[in-house]
Amino acid sequence: MSTPISGFSKLSKSQKISWLAENYFNDAQAGIRVLQQYWNSDQKLQQLHDEFIENTISNYYLPLGVAPNFTINGKMYAIPMAIEESSVVAAASNAAKFWLDKGGFKAKVIQSVKNGQVHLNFYGDSKRLEAFFNEVKPILLADCESITTNMRKRGGGILDLELRNKTQELAGYYQLHATFETLDAMGANFINSCLEQFASSLLREAAKSTLITEEDRLEVVMSILSNYVPECIVRAEVSCPVNELAQAGMSGQEFATKFARAVQIAQTEVRRAVTHNKGIMNGIDAVVLATGNDFRAVEAGVHAYASKDGHYRSLTHAAVSDGVFRFWIEIPLAIGTVGGLTKLHPLVKLCFEMLGNPGAKELMQIMAVAGLALNFAALRSLTTTGIQKGHMKMHLMNILNQLEATPQEKEAAIEHFKANTVSHAAAVSFLESLRP
């Protein structure tokens, strides 16, 4: 077992790797070779990657795929997707093709408001705190002028600032709740800078005010944006006459009814809802990653939104009425098209170019459509042929690579499993039958 190391961050990359290899790799030289295999031969590009985060030792690659033929609001897209899971890109592509001649996908941004809070302790009379806040609110906003100037020039900025009494949930707990429009920026740094200025100004003014006493114990606990953004909502949908849905030996009405029932189950049963929504996030996260956005923030906000009424539910909805099938999603997405990696990572820049360099609202629509498409593809499989038939066909190549199949063996296996059920055991058996 290795001993703790002091000053690790000050070591060079090669020194970090040597220490890791010495202390944590079973075969030091083999481990070093693997890490170096993923270094970029372009030293300038590798340095760029090294400087994205701290203590960099190598690059971790994910496949970058593309799902073509997405029509969104009448415009054709090829959607980039960074993801390791088999069948996701294929499923997205199939859904895009399915809806291509049925009007495609429609999407719109309903709201784009983001928020953050200054979290406070205050144990005095709430009415005095309210009076103090109303008195100093203009000062707090004015003190943020230098931070908000550029954002306001572009049409964004601070929308509102209010004092919220949360003492029923937690004794002595209040917050300054601020709302923002950050336009094409995700806005985390902008929001946090404003919040910290609010906090500093609040304490400064409290020290001068006769409304706040030492006994009130006014204290700023922390100032931070929220990744729960229920006022930053995008909607995506598809619809068509029920008779256009006939497939897999089912009439259009049968398929539509069964499909809608599957969504109702995900609205009702949390165990199903979690997997249902995970499938939606397969599509959304893949586009979030490809465009250099923060998938952890998106995931956290989305799953909180799925629980907004106290019961975790499906993020999608389906209805059959007057011979028309409708399937839609409303989802919170706080993302950006400027800042962060969006202008730094060469592949991210290329993905934006592939999408036509969208602004944040257009990218929100694209991401929501990707999530809806993956959910449609999954439910279509689940309610007809079953999920494993298609998924395991796509997973076959991973199994063959794991079993170190030769190109000739892969070709034979792909042909064999066109008519046979794919499983790890079946692949092992088939390869054994080929090998002497």
Gap between the Cα atoms of 317 and 349, Å rounded: 33
Q: Give me the mean pLDDT over the 243-257 stretch.
A: 93
In the predicted model, is pLDDT for residue 414 greater than 80?
A: no
Active-site residue, from 85, 254, 269, 330: 85
The reply to whether 349 belongs to the active site is no
List, for residues 64-114, the tens digit of each pLDDT value: 999 999 999 999 999 999 999 989 999 999 999 999 999 999 999 999 999
d(CA 340, CA 61): 19
> What is residue 155's three-state secondary structure?
coil
Residue the block writes with tokens 């249902």? 276
Structure tokens at 188: 């985390």
Q: What is the average per-residue pLDDT within 223-233?
A: 98
Mean of pLDDT over the chain: 94
CA nearest neighbour of 335 among 208, 229, 205, 199:
229
Catalytic residue among 119, 294, 362, 395: 294
> Domain map of the chain by residue range?
8-50, 67-107+233-385, 114-225, 390-434
Check residue 387 and give its pLDDT. 60
Please check whether residue 364 is in contact with residue 287, taking contact to mean a CB–CB distance below 8 angstroms: no
Alpha-carbon distance 253 to 262, whole Å?
14
Confidence of residue 391 (pLDDT cuts 50, 70, 90): low
How far is the C-alpha of 32 from the C-alpha of 37, rounded, in Å? 9
Q: Report pLDDT digits (tens) over 260-309.
A: 999 999 999 999 999 999 999 999 999 999 999 999 999 999 999 999 99
Q: Is 391 a catalytic residue?
A: yes
Parallel, antiparallel, or unpaired for β 75-82 and 114-121? unpaired
* 85 in catalytic set: yes
In the chain, the amino acid numbered 124 is G
Question: Which residue's entry shows tokens 């939606």?
Answer: 280
Residue 392: pLDDT band (50, 70, 90) is low
Indicate whether 1 pLDDT > 60.
Answer: no
282 CB neighbour count, 10 Å cutoff = 24
Q: Are the C-beta atoms of 110 and 168 separated by less than 8 Å?
A: no
Distance of CA 385 to the CA centre of its chain: 29
Three-class HEC string of 23-88: HHCCCHHHHHHHHHHCCCCCHHHHHHHHCCCCCCCCCCCCCEEEEEEEEECCEEEEEEEECCCCCH
* More confident site: 368 or 404: 368
Task: Kindly report the backbone phi and psi dihedral angles of residue 356, in degrees, each rounded to the nearest multiple of 5, phi listed first.
Answer: 85, 25
pLDDT, residue 259, reads 97
Least confident of 196-205, 300-309, 384-393: 384-393
Query: What is the secondary structure of 245-309 as a DSSP string?
Result: G-BTTB-HHHHHHHHHHHHHHHHH-HHHHHHHHHHHHHHHHHHHHHTT--HHHHHHHHHHHHTTT
Nearest to 192, CA basis, from 114, 111, 293, 303: 114
What does each C-alpha distance from 343 to 197, 226, 347, 349, 365 come to in angstroms? 28, 24, 10, 6, 20
Query: In this predicted structure, what is the pLDDT of residue 343?
Result: 84
Tell me which of 96-105, 162-171, 177-186, 391-400 is least confident. 391-400
Please give the Cα distance from 334 to 190 (Å, whole number). 14
Task: Please work out, in degrees rounded to the nearest 5, the angle formed at the alpha carbon of residue 424 by the alpha carbons of 59 and 26.
Answer: 40
Structure tokens of 403? 């079993």
Residue 419, helix vs strand vs coil: coil
pLDDT digits (tens, 9 = 90+) for 327-377: 999 999 999 999 888 888 999 999 999 999 999 999 999 999 999 999 999
Active-site hit among 278, 393, 416, 424? 278
pLDDT of 224 > 60? The answer is yes
Q: Is 157 exposed, middle or buried (0-12, 13-18, 19+ CB in 10 A)?
A: buried
Tokens of 236: 């995506």
CATH number, domain 114-225, options 3.40.50.2000, 3.40.1280.10, 3.30.70.420, 3.40.50.1100: 3.30.70.420
Q: Check residue 201 and give its pLDDT.
A: 98
67-107+233-385 adopts what CATH topology?
Answer: 3.90.770
What pLDDT does residue 73 have?
A: 98
Q: What is the pLDDT of residues 2-13, one digit of tens each?
A: 688 999 999 999
Asked if the model's pLDDT at residue 389 lies above 70, the reply is: no
At residue 227, the pLDDT reads 98
Q: What percentage of residues in the chain have a pLDDT greater than 70? A: 97
Predicted local distance difference test score (pLDDT) of residue 57: 96
Confidence band (pLDDT; 50, 70, 90) for 431?
A: confident
For tokens 């980039």, the residue is: 80
Annotation marks residue 177 as catalytic: no
- pLDDT tens-digit readout, 26-59: 999 999 999 999 999 999 999 999 999 999 999 9
Which entry of 49, 114, 391, 395 is annotated as an active-site residue? 391
Rounded mean pLDDT, 407-423: 79
